[in-house]
Amino acid sequence: MRATRANGSRKTLKFLLALVLLGIFCIAGLDRRLCVTEYDIASPELPVEFDGLRIAVVADPHGSFMHKESELAVRIAEEKADVILLLGDMLDENAPDMESFSGFLGEIVKIAPVYAVSGNHDRWHDYYREFLTACKTAGVTRLEDGEVLLHRGTDTIRLVGFADPEFWTADPPEGCMDATLQALPAGDGFDILLFHRANVFDHVSGAGYELVISAHLHGGLVRLPFIGPIVPRLPVGDMTYAGGRYMAGDTTLIVSRGLGNNVEVPRIFNRPELVMITLKTSEE
């Protein structure tokens, strides 16, 4: 009888432990709170006036956080961003809310200069022109196959942006980027390249840009702690550069895991992410 009761108690404890672990998994794995990921980028090529420059990267919200009183705008201000970069896929393609998006832009341009490139979900839908107009009206600089010099004191660095291709495919052929690479080659100074799709990084990694900032892969959607994406490839592309810091020769790639989602698969162990990059002249 005692053995039977002991076995029953052990089974109950195991069941309760399983419930607790399942609860922890659900709470932690499905956590939708905004997080901030910090990266320090050190380069001797960086002009001294830009030492300490703080860059905020906003990517793939798909409508999430895109409103005037957004927590995201507050966090960007709290992080003391000097420059704000929009990496595309800003709106919910099924219900694009231009009024809320314009309100968000109106808030962040008060914090720092804002620069934007398009993502596939911006480019492939009827609201693309409205997206560009909203950016222009708010005072956002659109880098659709364009460039701009950032000034601090007497020093400058160059910001280059590639527009997303105008067709539906997970892996655009490298040829669609060649003309832009030829028109906007890396120079002799410190150059930063922005483009939406991290999965085409291999094609630009040898182009001479010191820093490339990208997005598109949503962190792989489903991640495991300390491991990363559990699926090597999704319809959006290969997950080699799903999110984080990568090196290829002298080029550093920073990939945002993004803020939102455009598919029904939930983000697991993959919280909405605001990326903050600090530029430094040295590792110290």
* Angstrom distances, CA of residue 234 to CA of 81, 199, 240: 32, 11, 11
pLDDT value at position 261? 87
Given a contact cutoff of 8 angstroms between Cβ atoms, the answer to whether 229 and 221 are in contact is yes
In terms of domains, do 161 and 252 share one? yes
- The number of C-alpha atoms within 13 Å of 74 and in the hemisphere containing its C-beta is 8
In terms of domains, do 148 and 134 share one? yes
Considering its fold, how many domains does the chain have in total? Answer: 2
Given a contact cutoff of 8 angstroms between Cβ atoms, the answer to whether 55 and 81 are in contact is yes
Q: Which residue has the tokens 């009024």?
A: 99
Q: What b-and-e string marks burial along 237-249, b requiring 16 or more CB atoms within 10 Å of the CB?
A: bbbebbbbebeee
Q: End-to-end CA distance of the chain, in Å?
A: 68
In terms of domains, do 231 and 250 share one? yes
In terms of domains, do 267 and 133 share one? yes
In terms of domains, do 249 and 268 share one? yes
Q: What is the DSSP string of 145-194?
A: SEEEEEEETTEEEEEEEPPPPSS--SS--THHHHHHHHHS---SS-EEEE
In terms of domains, do 85 and 135 share one? yes
Domain with 55 in it: what CATH number? 3.60.21.10
In terms of domains, do 124 and 259 share one? yes
Residue 174: is its pLDDT beyond 90? no
Q: What is the pLDDT of residues 223-281, one digit of tens each?
A: 888 888 888 787 777 899 999 999 999 999 999 999 998 877 788 889 999 999 999 99
Domain range for residue 197?
34-280
In terms of domains, do 19 and 84 share one? no
Report the distance separating Cα 146 and Cα 93, nearest Å.
Answer: 25
* Angstrom distances, CA of residue 12 to CA of 7, 26, 149: 9, 21, 66
In terms of domains, do 59 and 124 share one? yes
> Which residues are CB-neighbours of 223 under 8 A, at least 6 positions away?
229, 230, 242, 268, 269, 270
Whole-structure pTM value: 0.89
Helix ranges (DSSP H) in the chain: 2-29, 71-78, 98-108, 120-123, 128-138, 175-183, 201-204
pLDDT value at position 7? 62
Report the distance separating Cα 59 and Cα 274, nearest Å.
Answer: 8
In terms of domains, do 144 and 24 share one? no
Tell me the pLDDT band of 94, cut-offs 50, 70 and 90.
confident
